[in-house]
Amino acid sequence: MKCPICNQEMEAGGLIIDGVNPGWVPMEQFEKKGLSRLLYTGFRTIGKTNFVLSQTRVPNAHFCKTCNKIVGIFDITNNID
Ligand SMILES: [Zn+2]
């Protein structure tokens, strides 16, 4: 995959998240703090969680050594609609 910023070839890999249930929320929810965010029902999870290890593996993350950035194309793993 080419870097969307500098167009160099990126290194393929994945994310290992030290925790369970990582996911995406809209900016309005992202900027909230504390418990109010937990009540949000539109949370879009990503990755595959191992609850024993308390880790989540998220495939399809690409690293650009030139820009020092990670770009990901992540599948949503819960359907809420
Ligand atoms: Zn780049």
In SS3 terms, the chain reads as CECCCCCCECEEEEEEECCCCCEECCHHHHCCCHHHHHHCCCCEEECEEECCCCEEEEEEEEEECCCCEEEECCCECCCCC
Q: In which domain, by residue range, is 62 found?
A: 11-72
Is 4 part of a structural domain of the chain?
Answer: no
pTM equals: 0.80
Report the domain count for the chain.
1
Residue 37 lies in a domain: yes
Find the 73 Cα to ligand 1 centroid distance in Å.
16
pLDDT digits (tens, 9 = 90+) for 18-39: 988 899 989 988 898 877 766 7
- Centre of ligand 1 to C-alpha 67, Å, is 4
Domain contains 79:
no
Give residue-wise pLDDT tens across range 6-20.
999 999 999 999 988
What is the whole-number distance in angstroms between the Cα of residue 58 and the centre of ligand 1? 21
Q: How many angstroms does the Cα of residue 2 sit away from the middle of ligand 1?
A: 8
64, part of any domain: yes
Q: How far is the CA of 5 from the centre of ligand 1 (A)?
A: 5
